[in-house]
Copies of this chain bind each other. A is one copy, B any other.
């Protein structure tokens, strides 16, 4: 054979090999296995121009974006390269139907992965939408362990709206004090609150000691001067005039409730938490931790200009400057800053504005409707409490302290001592005054669970109340694992039976995260049809750390088997040691 001939043959062989390999990872109906090999480790990084250790994946912060299609099997081979800390990753908004052990919640769905060990997350994504992932152990989300997970529509299918291109914006907040030190302070007596974040980040980038808009008189900081390669230089959104862009926006903040706005551009909201919503136009968008949205913008403004995109803090008196980036109309230079200042974030306590936005979110016609009736109602009163002098949050007077043995293992293996067998209360005393600080603020810790019959329809009433301090009631965005729920309604003051009549059963939005407003209640409905153990908690990470969550279990006996390797700790490990391995 001549050399040329042999190269040709080699090419054919290679082509056939590639064909073979690519068909191998394709499963039926075009769905794929998407394999990722991730190392979690601390890296030095300057998210807001000041360098600190940040929890990264494969040297990246935020972690790599996962992009998939419905039906795809995701395999994340996660290696813990931390030195003394365990780690898990939660896939926020993914239902994990049939794979509850892959939900990535330490003490709930699995044991934390030990340093040096590798854990395989295997799960299917089934619904297009804008999702993200993040650490769910201690306060590792605050430490920077998060990234985006985007599910496009199935090949050949179309979204119910048109757009020409898209951008992905993962929002977060950042402290200069390490997540460890924050966590220690929250667990101390006297209590040390983490305070407001030093910076807000867009895709892991913010500016602490300079401002992009200083020349607009918007800041006391000096004007940022970036070459563009800095770790804290903003990712500019480069757009062409007269096109429609989809912005995917998700918030993995530890604390901050955010508001996003773009100078001169209206936004059409089309998706919330992976569910299509009835499109509506807004000038600015509230987004709470744990939520995601898609909005459409049309680049129909003066094409000689660039425009600000700003995010700012709402719901708490803000002490953090806005994060900014630019909508850069090409071919303008990205260094051409807008003449006008960035959009002003609505006043932090303008709750009328917040409620108006939140209540505008309704399901797109044709979306699944809620069942007309429920089987069981659980009322969850959120209070701030003291336990032996420690400041806590509690639900119906019980502050959640997770057990060392994951619930899913304890239940599946029938271990009696894995958690508190007393059922937590389904409500609170009628005479409790949600408008006043608790008369007896002392509560207890616990780790009992709410068990739902498989397939039962559950209503949850989240009831807000006054915190320990008079005239203070905070916003809490509650996130449910393993499910979407319908948000049937929001109300003021204490929920009462007559409020049921006002529930929206016609077009309530499906969400995985819902906010309770100060002194108000929020009503949710979901079907307990996903065998597993699921956390339901305030997505503000320090609040969860302080006990603001509950545990739901349903149909665990329907799971054929849980993988032993997810449960090599606590009492389940002890059980293995005693020779029981099934």
Query: In which size bucket is the chain A interface?
Result: 35 or more
Contact B44 A188 (CB under 8 A): yes
Q: Per-position contact with B for A543-582: 1 when CB-CB < 8 Å, else 0?
A: 0000000000000000000001100111001101111010
Contact B84 A140 (CB under 8 A): yes
Q: Count identical subunits in the complex.
A: 2
Please tell me if A48 contacts chain B, counting CB pairs below 8 Å. Answer: no
Q: Per-position contact with B for A19-63: 1 when CB-CB < 8 Å, else 0?
A: 000000000000000000000011110000000010000000000
A178 / chain B contacts, CB cutoff of 8 Å: 178, 180-181
Please tell me if A116 contacts chain B, counting CB pairs below 8 Å. Answer: yes
A183 / chain B contacts, CB cutoff of 8 Å: 83
Chain B residue with minimal CB distance to A404?
B116
Q: Which residue, of A42, A87, A570, A576, has the highest number of chain B Cβ atoms within 10 A?
A: A576
A574 / chain B contacts, CB cutoff of 8 Å: 565, 568
A396 / chain B contacts, CB cutoff of 8 Å: none
User: How far in angstroms is the closest Cβ of chain B from A146?
Assistant: 16
Chain B residue with minimal CB distance to A117?
B404
Contact A581 B570 (CB under 8 A): no
A180 / chain B contacts, CB cutoff of 8 Å: 42, 53, 178, 180
User: How far in angstroms is the closest Cβ of chain B from A41?
Assistant: 8
| Docked complex Cα distance between A114 and B137 (Å) | 13
Please tell me if A184 contacts chain B, counting CB pairs below 8 Å. Answer: yes
Please tell me if A85 contacts chain B, counting CB pairs below 8 Å. Answer: yes
Chain B residue with minimal CB distance to A564?
B577
Given the interface pairs A44-B188, A184-B42, A568-B574, the reply to whether A114 lies near B404 with Cβ below 8 Å is yes
| Docked complex Cα distance between A209 and B569 (Å) | 45
A140 / chain B contacts, CB cutoff of 8 Å: 84
| Docked complex Cα distance between A295 and B508 (Å) | 79
Please tell me if A138 contacts chain B, counting CB pairs below 8 Å. Answer: yes
A192 / chain B contacts, CB cutoff of 8 Å: 44
Chain B residue with minimal CB distance to A183?
B83
In the complex, besides A85-B86, A579-B581, 5 extra interface pairs with C-beta distance below 8 angstroms are: A41-B187, A112-B115, A114-B404, A117-B570, A573-B573
